Chain A
């Protein structure tokens, strides 16, 4: 059985090369793995190893030949034992480009669209209990840990210290040190450990003391947690919640005050939640813990102490991916998430006094983004203002404005406007910090601008 040895490619882009030297001659016995020739391109030199065994019966391309095309037969081996080599003639590489209809995606890709249910109906006369966001988050974790022994909490100071912001207060006492785990200060390591535990079937809640520190761990959040289901063809799920305070704190400077919403919402494979009030914090955290996907759960330090009514029902779970109209209105749509929802509601109050009816949409989930609710609102109001605590450039508002422009262009009476943080690192000085952050007055001004009011 004669075997043709073909001109190999040194790289995916190589098309031809120089066969600089033969290290065998006709009649030589060749062993598998033996170096038989040297080839070179403008980028690299490389040895050609024999894959099959046999005797060189013919050299088809002389040493020194330039411009030898990849896959050209260069040598013939004969007398090889074993079954015929299946190498044979080179097959053309498969076409790499996707079908034409997939190259342009004017609407959100299906990955971010899913069938959603509405918030659960509350029974008539249900008791509403004033609860701080801090305790609502704790209650959500405690309820899910009671429900499922695979759920555990790990992070810095979550156990004995009761949480750096006291979100995990009393969990250690109830669940013990095997399920409420103080980690060393080692974000990269414990985020990776959590992802590995999730791949192996557990349901970790990984607390970052703040999301600023999660930049040490972002490789595991995106590369390990976010992409593995896809890379494994659906074989490996990663049910994990990464949570902690995000966004501006107070007077802690640039490295401890940043909003990561836009960073994470860009990543397919992650779900990203940023609740505003206590009922949402509880209902969405419970949903996140039950979800079989990695969830980035963005809390807000400056909201932890705020109390809101939470329904006293046995199992308060909210749908991920559904925005909430916090205040109906007819003249302008304001989108916001997390702490900015409160600012938007205050702005709407002030605008109402001036005869302007603002509809405030609490995004609640940033990925998947409930664009349908936003577009429906804009079709009614014809104007859009987005408010976020993060930077403007490639921010949450940039995505919302682009989507609304794509999906409801004909309904817009004015270009959408974004209210954001100033394009600078967070300053420490009190006056500069206020100047850098979006304020209620900025939202009011943006609304007036899109309505052409002065």
Chain B
């Protein structure tokens, strides 16, 4: 192992030490309840999307984020307005966490005029200039080069914004990821590479696809430090995100965060997920679920009551029901939309 790789490993160890050594992260009731609300919104939204898919109202590919909610909710809390976000095709949770309208997201899933892309993008392709969300990309790994370009523009303009670039353990084996790592470190770009390791690239487990299964080490050849993070603990995610963002804002260059997480559903709606056991899924769900974990933390610390959670649940169910109603009632795009937005 060369010096740089060792450096990256040491940085990772430091990250772990900081996380474990600092013991209980700060407990801010409002912040944690905010996390709870956002995670629950994503969970309930995705469940409803799955339901609408089953009813034939959503078609094509539909990749649900259920189980991974703590990743995007924790990391987005480390950003400030004007920072950029980009991800792949499992993107509904990221859009909601970026503050994009659940109605617009759901109506895009149903392919209606009220969708964020006017019904022309679909599940994998939504964007928001206002929230600096740059997609929503269907080609595995493409968002990593594109996101590096978002970070490049920040450096070019000499502002202090950062780009948060999400991709999965599957995308982490694409060549352009390493082309991007190289340029990002060479030019000290404010890029945070978030590898959401949910342990399966579609149906292929990490062990069957990756010679180096510790993804936080994947920047070693470029001298990019990495950190492994418990992606089911929203507080740990927030803390790791805050450290990486501070480093990028300070002009110290990119960082890799490997978020250990898990998706409960199949890769897409048409995947029965027979490559893993029901016991494995149940065990994750029962012992590691990010929402239940946070609920227990808040309860045992006396920061919230069952009534608080019931109130939040009612509020979220109403938002999701409203988005589903909107998505069904919104008309199909006008036929004239077929030939618009091809050139600007």
Contact = CB atoms under 8 A, between A and B. Distances in A.
**Interface extent on B, as a size class?**
35 or more
A220 B53 contact: no
A111 interface: yes
A188 B317 contact: no
A10 B267 CA distance: 12
B179 A98 contact: no
Interface of B: 44, 47-48, 50-51, 53-57, 59-60, 66, 84, 86, 110-112, 115-122, 125-129, 134-139, 142, 144-154, 156, 175-176, 179-180, 182-183, 186, 264-266, 269-272, 274, 278, 285, 310, 313-314, 317-318, 321, 324-325, 328, 332, 335, 338-344
Interface stretch (A81-89, A116-124, A308-316): A81-89
B325 A197 contact: no
Question: In this complex, which of B118, B142, B325 has the most chain A Cβ atoms within 10 angstroms of its Cβ?
Answer: B142
Contacts of B66: 33
A92 B57 CA distance: 7
A51 B47 contact: yes
Contacts of A232: 117, 121, 125-127, 135-136, 341
A219 B139 contact: yes
Given A33-B264, A51-B48, A231-B117, A236 B129 contact: yes
A91 B125 contact: no
Nearest to B120: A233
Most chain-B CB neighbours within 10 Å: which of A35, A197, A220, A231? A231
Interface stretch (A59-67, A135-143, A178-186, A350-358): A178-186
A98 B338 contact: yes
A192 B338 CA distance: 27
A396 B342 CA distance: 21
Interface residues of A, number: 76
B111 to A, nearest CB: 7
Contact of B153 (A85, A201, A237, A268): A201
A99 to B, nearest CB: 5
B313 A82 contact: yes
A12 interface: yes
A111 B335 contact: no
B272 A82 contact: no
A296 B116 CA distance: 28
Contacts of B321: 83, 85-86
A102 B338 CA distance: 9
Q: Which of B119, B137, B176, B274 has the most CB of A within 10 A?
A: B176
A190 interface: yes
B148 A192 contact: yes
A98 B339 CA distance: 12
A49 interface: yes
A196 B156 CA distance: 13
A95 B127 CA distance: 25
A293 B342 CA distance: 9
Interface in A174-214: 178, 183-184, 186, 188-202
Contacts of A11: 269-270
Contacts of A45: 272, 274
Given A33-B285, A200-B84, A192 B146 contact: yes
